[in-house]
Amino acid sequence: MPRISPWLFRKANRHSPNVAALLPACRDLPSAINELRWLKEHVNGTAHLAKGSLLARLCKKRGQGYPLQYILGSQPFGPLDIKCRSGVLIPRPETEAYTYHLADLIKSGSLKIGGSKHDLSVVDFCTGTGCIPLLLYALLYQKFDHLNVLGVDISTQAIKLARGNIDHNTRLGNLPDLQLNHGLDIMQEDIFHDEVIEKLKGRNWDVMVSNPPYISRRAWNHGGGQVGYSVRKYEPSLALVPRDDVPIPVNWNHEDIFYARLLKIARHLKPRAILLEIGDKEQARRVISQFLQNNPSANSEVQVWRDWPDLASAGDKDCLLEIPMQDGSSRAIPIQGDGNIRSIFIKLGA
């Protein structure tokens, strides 16, 4: 990361010492000024007597890389206000973008999923704050007569926060009060234990979503690529790096083991569509290759989505991802949207 020029620090200090304190994290003056405004609003909403000294401390803490969402305690996510706490992964705008795009595809009917009586069931694994299932519920509850959305996570802290986010957004009016034929719930389970399959496979699941841990040990320990300093220092490794106590399946990398497990779960739950966040192009290649080798059905459709899947791609972006196959051939998978490669979308044949 390039150093900030002394000239920019002097310019920030003319606004206020707090803006200058925020500059190392914000990297530019407009962002620092904007974050100072949010921090002032946050401090003014507290009962702290010495608001000026509290603001200065928070600006210094933020300037050292501590995530703004943990300081403010929340992150906007579509129409929702998602509470954030240290120990649970912060929702990202890219996750919000593909969740919206998935909801739009479902509402348009182009996926041809959901029962004949307008029923829909969605399960989200590694749910964290609950941002994905809550947003899907908020966007879809008016479309379906029967809607069931479930989030699953191993972390007690995440489960508590996700359930709290349901209550919080219901109180704010961002989520409707649960109706008789609708369900929105959070369940604590380890997806590497077969109990989760036993509990879920008796129900029909139309859509399976997951933003699992997918960062390699090397990237976590040394940085670079997907992982910035602030993320490695302050956000939970449990939500980002696969555990060391899970055996690595044959022909899979350690950072990909959640995808191996999720695809196995999908074979039991038989969803009609799967959406998986991934880290980069090479991980997309590896996961799609494994899926195609083990699910050779010609009825399955696979797409790669960029950060903003509903936007037109910039002219310099690849529109196809070549997937090498074991027999030496390759298969071209379409890429849509703009930004970095972010997720894999699979529509399974009947």
Strand blocks (E) in the chain = 74-77, 80-83, 119-125, 146-153, 182-188, 207-210, 273-277, 301-308, 320-324, 330-336, 338-347
How much is the pLDDT for 22?
97
Mean pLDDT of the chain: 93
Stated as kind and residue range, the H or E segment containing 153 is strand 146-153
How much is the pLDDT for 226?
67
Q: CB neighbours (10 Å) of residue 87? A: 16
**φ and ψ of 306, to 5 deg:** -85, 180
Stated as kind and residue range, the H or E segment containing 308 is strand 301-308
For the domain made up of 93-347, the CATH class stated in words is alpha beta
Sign of the CA dihedral 23, 88, 175, 138?
positive
How does pLDDT run along the chain (350 residues), one tens digit per residue?
688 999 999 999 999 999 999 999 999 999 999 999 999 999 999 998 899 999 999 999 999 999 999 999 999 999 999 999 999 999 999 999 999 999 999 999 888 775 555 899 999 999 999 999 999 999 999 999 999 999 999 999 999 999 999 999 999 999 998 888 899 999 999 999 999 999 999 889 999 999 999 999 999 988 766 688 889 999 999 999 999 999 999 999 999 999 999 999 999 999 999 999 999 999 999 999 999 988 766 688 999 999 999 998 877 788 999 998 888 889 999 999 999 999 999 999 76
How much is the pLDDT for 150?
98
Rg (CA), the chain: 21
How much is the pLDDT for 250?
94
Stated as kind and residue range, the H or E segment containing 146 is strand 146-153
Q: CB neighbours (10 Å) of residue 340? A: 14
How much is the pLDDT for 223?
77
For residues 333 and 1, give the distance between their C-alpha atoms in angstroms, rounded to a whole number.
33
How much is the pLDDT for 297?
64
For residues 36 and 58, give the distance between their C-alpha atoms in angstroms, rounded to a whole number.
10
Q: Domain spans of the chain?
A: 6-66, 93-347
Whether the CB-CB separation of 19 and 36 falls below 8 Å is answered with yes
How much is the pLDDT for 166?
98
Pairing mode, strands 273-277 and 338-347:
antiparallel
Whether the CB-CB separation of 76 and 67 falls below 8 Å is answered with no
How much is the pLDDT for 350?
62
**φ and ψ of 227, to 5 deg:** -120, 115
Q: How many whole angstroms from its chain centre is CA 69?
A: 15
Stated as kind and residue range, the H or E segment containing 187 is strand 182-188
Q: CB neighbours (10 Å) of residue 287? A: 26
Give me the torsion for CA of 303, 333, 320, 313, rounded to 10°.
Answer: -10
For residues 102 and 269, give the distance between their C-alpha atoms in angstroms, rounded to a whole number.
19
How much is the pLDDT for 225?
65
Calculate the alpha carbon distances from 307 to 13, 153, 255 in Å: 35, 24, 20
For residues 118 and 114, give the distance between their C-alpha atoms in angstroms, rounded to a whole number.
6
Calculate the alpha carbon distances from 160 to 80, 92, 188, 303, 344 in Å: 17, 20, 10, 34, 28
Whether the CB-CB separation of 265 and 194 falls below 8 Å is answered with no
Q: CB neighbours (10 Å) of residue 117? A: 9
How much is the pLDDT for 115?
54
Q: What is the largest CA-CA distance in the chain?
A: 70
How much is the pLDDT for 275?
98
